[in-house]
Amino acid sequence: MKHSPSSRRSQEIAREKLAAILQTKVSDPALAGVVVTGCDVSVDRSFIRAFVACPAEDEEAVAEAFGRAKGHIRRLLGRALGWRVTPELDLRIDPSTEEAQRITEALKHVPPTMTEEKDEDGYPIEPADVDEGERA
45 or 136, greater pLDDT: 45
Catalogue all structural domains in the chain, each as residue range(s) with its CATH number: 5-109 (3.30.300.20)
pLDDT at residue 132, as a whole number: 52
Torsion angle defined by CA atoms of residues 59, 65, 69 and 73, in that order, rounded to the nearest 10 degrees: -30
At 47 the pLDDT is 92
Residue type, 72: H
> Which pLDDT value is given to residue 129?
46
Whether pLDDT at 3 is above 50: yes
Residues 6-17 pLDDT 10s: 778 889 999 999
What pLDDT score does 48 carry?
Answer: 92
* 60-105 residue pLDDT tens: 888 888 888 889 999 999 999 988 988 999 988 877 767 777 777 8
The predicted pLDDT at position 74 comes to: 92
pLDDT tens-place string over residues 20-43: 998 888 888 888 878 888 888 988
Cβ-count burial 56-65 (b if 16+ within 10 Å, e if not): eebeeebeeb
Kindly report, residue by residue over 44-54, the tens digit of the pLDDT: 899 999 998 88
Nearest to 89 by CA among 73, 104, 101, 102: 73
> Confidence class of residue 130 from pLDDT cuts 50, 70 and 90?
very low
User: Phi/psi at 86 (nearest 5 deg)?
Assistant: -80, 115
Nearest of 78, 101, 98, 103 to residue 88 by alpha carbon: 78
Name residue 93's beta-bridge partners. Answer: 52
Number of helices followed by number of strands (H, E) in the chain: 4, 3
Q: Which residues does residue 53 pair with via DSSP β-bridges, in sequence order?
A: 35
Whether the model clears a pTM of 0.95, i.e. scores above it, the answer is: no
